[in-house]
Chain A
Amino acid sequence: DTGVSQDPRHKITKRGQNVTFRCDPISEHNRLYWYRQTLGQGPEFLTYFQNEAQLEKSRLLSDRFSAERPKGSFSTLEIQRTEQGDSAMYLCASSSRTQNPGHEGYTFGSGTRLTVV
C-alpha cells in the first residue's frame, strides 16, 4: 500500500462541464475525507465518509458537488456545471476508525488540481 492515491493529478476543463475525481484511500482506513485547497490557503473541509456512509457535508459543498463511496473503499467527487471559482486543489485523506482523524491516522493524497477555463 503506497498511501492515498488520487486520480487524475491535473484536470483542465471548460466552464460548464462536469468533472469527476477519484480517491483510493489506504486499504485498512474506513474514514475518508475530501478537502479543497486554493493557492496560499489552508485546506477547507468538504465532506466525510465512514465506510460507505456520508456523515458530514460542509456548506461549501453546493448542490453542484456530489461525493460517493459506494463500497466503502474508493470515493468519487463530481462537480457539475463547473465554474471558474471551482479551480482549486481537491485533496482526499483517510484515517482508521480507532484513531482520531486529527492524530497520526490522517493521511492525505497528493490531490487533483482542477483548472476551469
Chain B
Amino acid sequence: QQQVKQSPQSLIVQKGGISIINCAYENTAFDYFPWYQQFPGKGPALLIAIRPDVSEKKEGRFTISFNKSAKQFSLHIMDSQPGDSATYFCAPPPMDSNYQLIWGAGTKLIIKP
C-alpha cells in the first residue's frame, strides 16, 4: 500500500525562525509532491509543490526540497510568522490514479511571537 510518513507531528518555532517539515514516501510511483496548508475551520489549500526533475523550488518564504534517492521531500518556512501557524500536509497523487491524493498525517505548526 502506498504511504507517506510525515514528521514531526507538531512543531513550535519562534517568530523569525525556520520551520522544517518532512515527508518520506515508500513508493516511487509519484511524479508530483505538494504541500497543503490548512487553517482551523478551513479546507486544505495547495501551498507549494515540486516535480521530481528539480531538487528545490522556492516561493517567497516557502521552499520545498526533494531528495529522490532518500525518497523524501521537505517544506522549509523561512522567517516564520505567527500567520504561518496552521497544519501542513504532504499529499502526493499516485501516478496510477487520476483522482486520489495520499495524505500524510499532518504537522501542526505553531509560531510563537
- Per-residue contact bits, chain A 99-110, to B (CB 8 Å; 1 contact, 0 not): 011111011111
| Size band of the interface chain A makes with B | 20 to 34
> Are B99 and A4 in touch, CB under 8 angstroms?
no
Q: Complex Cα distance A40/B105, Å? A: 8
Closest Cβ of chain B to A75, distance in Å, is 14
Q: Complex Cα distance A108/B32, Å? A: 18
- Where chain B touches its partner, the secondary structure class is loop
The answer to whether A100 and B44 touch (CB under 8 A), given A42-B104, A42-B106, is: no
> Are B99 and A110 in touch, CB under 8 angstroms?
no
Q: Complex Cα distance A91/B32, Å? A: 22
Q: Complex Cα distance A100/B49, Å? A: 13
Tell whether B27 is near chain A: CB-to-CB under 8 Å: no
Tell whether B110 is near chain A: CB-to-CB under 8 Å: no
Closest to B106 in A: A42
A interface residues with partner B (beta carbon < 8 Å) = 4, 31, 33, 40-45, 48, 55-56, 91, 93, 100-104, 106-111, 113
B interface residues with partner A (beta carbon < 8 Å) = 32, 34, 41-46, 49, 89, 91-93, 98-101, 103-106, 108
